[in-house]
Structure 1
Amino acid sequence: MLPNTFESRDLPRALQHMLERGQSKVARGLPRRSFLKLTGTLGLTIGVFPQLAPAQSTDAAETARNLEPTEQPAAFVQIAPNGEVIVTVNRLEFGQGVHTALPMILAEELDADWALVRGRLGTNDPAYADPVFGIHITSGSSTIKNSFMQYRELGARARAMLLGAAAADWNVDVSTLRTEAGVVLGADGRKLGYGELADAAMGQPVPSQVKLKDPKDFRIIGRPTGRLDARAKSSGQQDFGIDFRLPGQLTAVVARPPVFGARIASLDDSAARIVKGVKAVLRVPLDRGAEGVAVVADGYWQATQGRDALKMEWDTSTVEKVDSEQQLAQYREMAARPGPRQFDSDMAPLEMAALELVAEFVFPYLAHAAMEPLNCTVALAERGAELWVGSQSAGLDAGAAAGVLGLKPEQVVLHVQMAGGGFGRRLSSTSDTVIEACEIAKAARAAGLNAPVRTLWSREDDMRGGYYRPMHLHRARIGFDEEGNVLAWDHSIVGQSVLAGSVFEQLQAKNGIDPTATEGMREPYPLPMRLAVHHPKVNVPVLWWRSVGSTHTAFVMETLLDEIARRTNQDPIAYRMRLFGDDHLRHRDALQLAVDKSGYGKTQLPEGRAWGVAAHESFGSVVAYVVEASVTAGRPVLHRVTAGVHCNLVVNPRTVEAQVQGAAMMGLSMCLAGSAITLKDGVVEQSNFSDYTVARLTEVPEFDIHIVPSGEPPTGMGEPGLPPLAPAFANAIVRLTGKPLRQLPFNLT
């Protein structure tokens, strides 16, 4: 069921169908026996849905039915007899900090004792759908933005139920009671802990309307708070999807074609079948029409030994074999053609401009390269299936699993697992990882293996056979005057669409243009731009990558504007401030904060260093960087990064700081030599971190991160810290070398 803010009839039919397959119309819960066991242990069980709570009164159940599943506190809070509060997180936690931030929001309105608050991840149940989008999704830095009010109201509803239970127990008016740090306090000095009230609170009505705290009374939101998962992760005790184990579980690895979409020409699996521990060798369909061979064994080592023993030949005759050099030549030819236009300003002033700038930018394919490789565990039963996977789209993935397994959506339960990174790779519109795991589990069952199967990708599997940030080419011709006023900006972008072929294409693409490819172009600058876009069809699978289109558009915009400032002898910060005008105060505030804290214009840099600056908005938040960089032995070095961040109200400043640092390091990785995915004769040439560069510990700069104070509704921070890092770094390097940088990774030769 979709929330009122997002009606299903407004969606394309294909997406409606996916939602119907991916979400059951009736909330699922635990069997009664499991429920009673859980309630006996935890007291107030809100992780079990209201219709499964026999302790609730008829009036309470009726009130609960008037709320959407996403508004029911019973799906999100458990309170144990000792007062421990467990908050269910409705997203995937894969490093962005929502496992702490969402419990902080709920605990604030619940008036919980933060020392007793814990977090846990949810499932594909409708209760855990995004309350704005109406589907299960962790994407677009939207968690806090979309669930801030949701979790506040959930906490306030649960608090009201606890107050009602105390009032009934003491036979007093509820208005005479108050709460503080997990305790209900009476006017006469009596008090009851939340754990003592938990059972009785289940019988209280669930209020549809609640009064929320005045932000000035916040005691949890806005305070720097250590992450709930920090100790487990830093000590190696945290279990991720890859660590999940069931009794008798088997492990599968897959021999994948070297060229995307290829199929098996011949297979000799005799040597693989006799490897100790190998249980089955199975031909299985793979993503994009390809075919592969799954080796199922007692463990990962045995499975990989079996895979290595396979003798195979591949049929690549019917698929395109991409070559990176040829592809670049094709992109250059396409950029010269007319194409669909995102913006269409008059270009006549180009011919009369006193100054002109012509530039071409090249951005390679990029791998997601998350630390935890892809994995999915599937357990089949007579009447359903359970999956354990770090999914960014639990509902859609569960629906896809149901389709493969021949089940109804309500027969599939997907348990969201903690994930070791993802950066978009765990949100595929094709649900490729989950479908592959289900195909293998189904084939294993048909082969007589009645056991759960964990399908595990190696680093090499993912880097050579996964999805990538698309390669892009930009071409710009800009006419401007001696004051830096842009008179006309003619621009072309060539790159694959990450939405092509998905239901999201129907929902978002307009005039043949994927908006994710152009986000970040022109705005917030008042520029007369003509922007043409070409989306070639290429046999390389592509997907969103942290900050999506802004990974390349920010670099283009911020380096070109810096070049115009240099050409017209203007300070790059003053030039940007003039372009921001009075319409973009958040950009001005973020940039000014970074400038003030960095010492720009006041501090004398060491010899051989230069300042670089860039500012960019993505996903509703603005991040500005002022950096210090040098060129050492022909190699660019980033020394210091000062950030000004405007993300409105901040839930946890430590999370914002961590996200800016992590995103900036990914942005730095894009600049370093070797950070590119290239293809030759259809085969990806990189396979692991030995030949695909990511920033190492020795390359981490000094960080100084500052947040603009604001009381406005929060915006996202998982991605906005990435886009401005590369252009700020490049703008510093060009001041040292005098040579503009037109490609990533940097080429200083």
Structure 2
Amino acid sequence: MNGLAPKPLSRRGLLKASLAAGGGLLIGLRLSSTASAAEFLTRATPMPPPDFDGDFEPNAFIRIDPKGAITFIMRNTECGQGIYTGASTLIAEELEVGMDQILVEAAPPDLKLYTDPLLGEQATGGSASIRGSWKPLREAGAAARMMLIAAAAEKWNVSPSACHAERGVVHGPAGQALGYGDLANDAAKQPVPTHVALKSSSQFKLIGTSPRRVDTPAKVNGTSVYGMDIQVPGMKIGTVAASPVLGGKLVRIDEAAARAVPGVRDVVQLDDVLAVIGDHMWAAMKGLQAANPVWDDGPNAHIDTQSLIAHLASDSEKAGFVAKKLGDAEGAIKAAASRYDATYQLPFLAHAPMEPINTTIHVRPDGAEVWVGTQVPVRAQMTVAKETGLPQESVKVYNQFMGGAFGRRLDIDSVTQAARIAKHVPYPVKLIWTREEDIRHDLYRPYYYDKISAGLDASGNVTGWSHRTTGSSVMARWAPPGMEEGGKLDPDAVEGSADTPYEFPTHQVAWVRSEPSALTTLWWRGVGPTHNVFVIESFMDELAAAAKQDPIAFRRTLLTKNPRALGVLDLAAKASNWGETLPAGRGRGVALQYAFQTYMATVLEIEIGAGNEIQLIRADVAVDCGPVVNPDTLAAQVQGGLIFGLSMALYSEITLTNGRVDQSNFHDYRILRIDEAPKVEVHIVHNPDGEIGGIGETGTVAAAPVLANAIFAATGRRLRRIPFGTGQLVSS
């Protein structure tokens, strides 16, 4: 699983099949969120396979060899979120095999075969993996099962309807039994099914259960391979120093001193980065230190955090692009009995995964090999080809497990840098960023500066709601075609605000694009909703307090036409004993959200200590994501996401001085410690036939608003700027 070089796949492209007597079948199945597998399978046309190896490969995701080994090829990358297990469950359910019978292999870069239908490319992110695979991967498994059954039925001269499959064996009406391996060659000769019938939820054997994760054994016994673990014959180790200010240039180094360090093999100087390569990491680090690089900081040397905030504040006065307009919100607010306005701010944030950035790469005249953990393998392949001048097909990318990603590895800047360096040396080199390099040269979650207004009538009912977001557009840089309204709107920037769970009589949402200098922005575990839901749910509590209503009761009045949202809100309230009297210094906050097609309500209980420190006691999270593939994974994702988000809300902030990032490691870019984490109980709504939602980023979305509201409940102080645990309780 995730070895150095996955077995090459003999696929020939989109909507094509290869069939030969005594050979194997291969279909490149295009995935679509709307079209069925059968629609595309019926368009497949036979062609001879020049490199058939005897395996049964009914589609791009399944390989069964004549000995019975069953391999699933995973297009999504494993960052610890459990997608290898989740995606395997979908295939195994319809293929009728056990989770203990499969092997998992990372897919190679291939846009034709492995594009995620929700993301539009071969990528892992946006809580989209299970949503995008829910139907297509089940169809892939079902089609393969039908062909295997048909092959067995033909051998026994019986109807396929008289046969059934179970745990990789086809059983006949007279007690016959043949394993999938025994049927592989014959199954390849079967016609492709024109109709693929999927199980109903009542027939599921695996979906909805919590089998052991497929990657657990290797991670427990230490045989799993992360990017940092890669070993290649002849490999050297390098580390880098890039310009500490974005746009800066390297002026000079002491190369002789660097090369004098024992174990140093090469020094590579580029205009904006210095790499020192040695026999081991210590030699590379000491050589880099001895090189003592001097930089010209360039045009961003004067930038600091306050100047960036001032720029955002100025831009926030602009009208912006109206992303949603329901009635005359501004007029309703002006005419209301009471008007309320607030400004909320969220800081730049680093990803800070436990495994720092690393890329192992070998550039040769005839091709290149890359071993890296990436969320975008095709982009990684393309950038290496571009930087080296090699044909794209000659660049082999072997994707590895990742020790966290959180969106950081959706970008290819580090792979680009590695290719630029590696083409100057003849051997394989593993380039490792130190923790300090990783945090100071991250691509950051944008700073947001939001203004929000609402009107209440004399009875405390909302009459108008207006929300204007000001911030950077990740979409405009990362995927320009994703911009809407002729490039005027970044849909991610308004996700969670343009489509809330609530029904407002009048509702306006606007976005002002404001790009920072001195920093590059990137997706961060739930970019749009992580800031919009904080603003909306915090302000919802402000309005409830102004109307002298209980926060949950106030929300209920706006949810009369949204039973799923009301359901999770009521479930979280019941689970947390909402309404009971708490001791002095304690408080409970609530947050409701609809993000990534999932409804979620969270209640958090906290206590304010004698020194104004915030102690997290307990969180109850109610989730309705439609069908649940793996309850344990769902709970783990919500728990991990909530802790990740609470770290941000309490401590995390990237600041700049003279163009340089101030933070460098976990001592000044804090995350929650084990003894600081609350108990988190996850309560799942049973909705197996509902719309399927994503889960990976939902906990992160909930964290900041539920904490802000709990702080208000405990202290009466409303905090509108993140992070909260940096003296705001004392100064507010």
Using structure 2 for the length normalisation, give the TM-score: 0.89
Q: 1:734 to 1:234 in 2, by over 3 A?
A: farther
144-153 vs 204-213, greater mean Cα deviation: 204-213
Residue of structure 1 aligned with 2:417, choices 410, 414, 436: 436
Which secondary structure state, in structure 1, belongs to the residue aligned with residue 430 of structure 2? strand
Which amino acid in structure 2 is aligned with residue 354 of structure 1? A
Residue of structure 1 aligned with 2:172, choices 186, 198, 205: 186
Q: Which residue of 2 aligns with 1:88?
A: 73
Residue of structure 2 aligned with 1:567, choices 541, 546, 556: 546
Q: Which residue of 2 aligns with 1:424?
A: 407
Distance 1:318 1:188 in 2: 80
Q: 1:60 to 1:712 in 2, by over 3 A?
A: closer
Q: Which residue of 2 aligns with 1:21?
A: none
8 Å Cα contact 2:619/2:680 also seen in 1: yes
Which secondary structure state, in structure 2, belongs to the residue aligned with residue 726 of structure 1? helix
Distance apart, 1:544 and its partner CA = 0.9
Distance apart, 1:327 and its partner CA = 2.0
**Corresponding position: 1:353 with 2:370:** no
Q: Which residue of 1 aligns with 2:658?
A: 681
Which secondary structure state, in structure 1, belongs to the residue aligned with residue 476 of structure 2? coil
Stretches of structure 2 that go unaligned for 5 or more consecutive residues are 1-5, 30-39, 47-55
**Corresponding position: 1:547 with 2:526:** yes
Superposition pairs of residues 192-231 of structure 1, within 5 angstroms: 192-231=178-217
Which amino acid in structure 2 is aligned with residue 699 of structure 1? E
Distance 2:140 2:633 in 1: 22
Distance 2:553 2:384 in 1: 54
**Corresponding position: 1:481 with 2:457:** yes
Distance 2:552 2:58 in 1: 48
Which secondary structure state, in structure 2, belongs to the residue aligned with residue 628 of structure 1? strand
May I ask how many residue pairs the two structures share in their alignment?
692
Which secondary structure state, in structure 2, belongs to the residue aligned with residue 419 of structure 1? coil
Superposition pairs of residues 227-376 of structure 1, within 5 angstroms: 227-284=213-270, 291-319=272-300, 321-344=302-325, 345-376=328-359
Q: Which residue of 2 aligns with 1:24?
A: none
Q: Which residue of 2 aligns with 1:592?
A: 570
Q: 1:468 to 1:132 in 2, by over 3 A?
A: closer
Q: Which residue of 2 aligns with 1:718?
A: 696
505-514 vs 622-631, greater mean Cα deviation: 505-514
Distance 1:358 1:263 in 2: 44
Which secondary structure state, in structure 1, belongs to the residue aligned with residue 477 of structure 2? coil
Q: 1:507 to 1:735 in 2, by over 3 A?
A: closer
Distance apart, 1:269 and its partner CA = 1.2
Distance apart, 1:55 and its partner CA = 4.2
Distance apart, 1:292 and its partner CA = 0.8
Q: Which residue of 2 aligns with 1:660?
A: 638
**Corresponding position: 1:617 with 2:603:** no
8 Å Cα contact 2:388/2:423 also seen in 1: yes
8 Å Cα contact 2:17/2:45 also seen in 1: no
Q: Which residue of 1 aligns with 2:32?
A: none
Residue of structure 2 aligned with 1:468, choices 444, 468, 485: 444
For residues 678-718 of structure 1, the C-alpha deviation after alignment (integer angstroms, 9 at most, x for no partner) is: 00010000000011011110111111111111112422111
For residues 466-486 of structure 1, the C-alpha deviation after alignment (integer angstroms, 9 at most, x for no partner) is: 201011111233322232322
Which amino acid in structure 2 is aligned with residue 219 of structure 1? K
718-727 vs 90-99, greater mean Cα deviation: 718-727
Q: 1:669 to 1:510 in 2, by over 3 A?
A: farther
Distance 1:556 1:346 in 2: 18
Q: Which residue of 2 aligns with 1:702?
A: 679
Which amino acid in structure 2 is aligned with residue 589 of structure 1? G
8 Å Cα contact 1:57/1:203 also seen in 2: yes
Distance 2:682 2:9 in 1: 49
Distance apart, 1:133 and its partner CA = 4.3
Distance 2:8 2:317 in 1: 60
Q: 1:67 to 1:208 in 2, by over 3 A?
A: farther
Which secondary structure state, in structure 2, belongs to the residue aligned with residue 179 of structure 1? strand
Distance apart, 1:65 and its partner CA = 9.1
121-130 vs 488-497, greater mean Cα deviation: 488-497
Which amino acid in structure 2 is aligned with residue 403 of structure 1? K
Q: 1:509 to 1:684 in 2, by over 3 A?
A: farther
Distance 1:498 1:242 in 2: 28
381-390 vs 198-207, greater mean Cα deviation: 198-207
For residues 170-204 of structure 1, the C-alpha deviation after alignment (integer angstroms, 9 at most, x for no partner) is: 34333321111221111111212223333443444
Q: 1:491 to 1:111 in 2, by over 3 A?
A: closer
Distance 2:58 2:444 in 1: 39
Q: 1:55 to 1:389 in 2, by over 3 A?
A: farther
537-546 vs 681-690, greater mean Cα deviation: 537-546
For residues 119-165 of structure 1, the C-alpha deviation after alignment (integer angstroms, 9 at most, x for no partner) is: 22211023222145442011211111111111111111221232233
Which amino acid in structure 1 is aligned with residue 23 of structure 2? Q
Distance 1:699 1:331 in 2: 33
Distance 1:503 1:60 in 2: 29
Stretches of structure 1 that go unaligned for 5 or more consecutive residues are 1-27, 36-48, 286-290
8 Å Cα contact 1:60/1:205 also seen in 2: no
For residues 281-306 of structure 1, the C-alpha deviation after alignment (integer angstroms, 9 at most, x for no partner) is: 11235xxxxx1111122222221121
Distance 2:116 2:679 in 1: 36
8 Å Cα contact 1:56/1:204 also seen in 2: no
8 Å Cα contact 1:505/1:514 also seen in 2: no
Q: Which residue of 2 aligns with 1:75?
A: 60
Distance 1:507 1:631 in 2: 43
Distance apart, 1:589 and its partner CA = 1.5
Distance 1:53 1:103 in 2: 28
633-642 vs 375-384, greater mean Cα deviation: 375-384
Distance 2:600 2:61 in 1: 32
Superposition pairs of residues 444-593 of structure 1, within 5 angstroms: 444=425, 449=426, 451-504=427-480, 507-508=483-484, 510=486, 512-521=488-497, 523-527=500-504, 528-539=506-517, 540-582=519-561, 584-593=562-571
Q: Which residue of 2 aligns with 1:56?
A: 23
703-712 vs 651-660, greater mean Cα deviation: 703-712
Q: Which residue of 1 aligns with 2:37?
A: none
Which amino acid in structure 2 is aligned with residue 575 of structure 1? F
Distance apart, 1:605 and its partner CA = 3.6
Q: Which residue of 2 aligns with 1:627?
A: 604
Distance apart, 1:490 and its partner CA = 4.1
8 Å Cα contact 2:57/2:64 also seen in 1: no
**Corresponding position: 1:410 with 2:377:** no
Distance 1:59 1:691 in 2: 53
251-260 vs 527-536, greater mean Cα deviation: 527-536
Which secondary structure state, in structure 2, belongs to the residue aligned with residue 468 of structure 1? coil
Q: Which residue of 2 aligns with 1:138?
A: 124
Distance apart, 1:498 and its partner CA = 1.4
Distance 2:644 2:708 in 1: 15
Which amino acid in structure 1 is aligned with residue 273 of structure 2? G
Distance 1:538 1:51 in 2: 51
Distance 1:476 1:58 in 2: 58
For residues 206-256 of structure 1, the C-alpha deviation after alignment (integer angstroms, 9 at most, x for no partner) is: 435322222211101111222111233244432111111111112221111
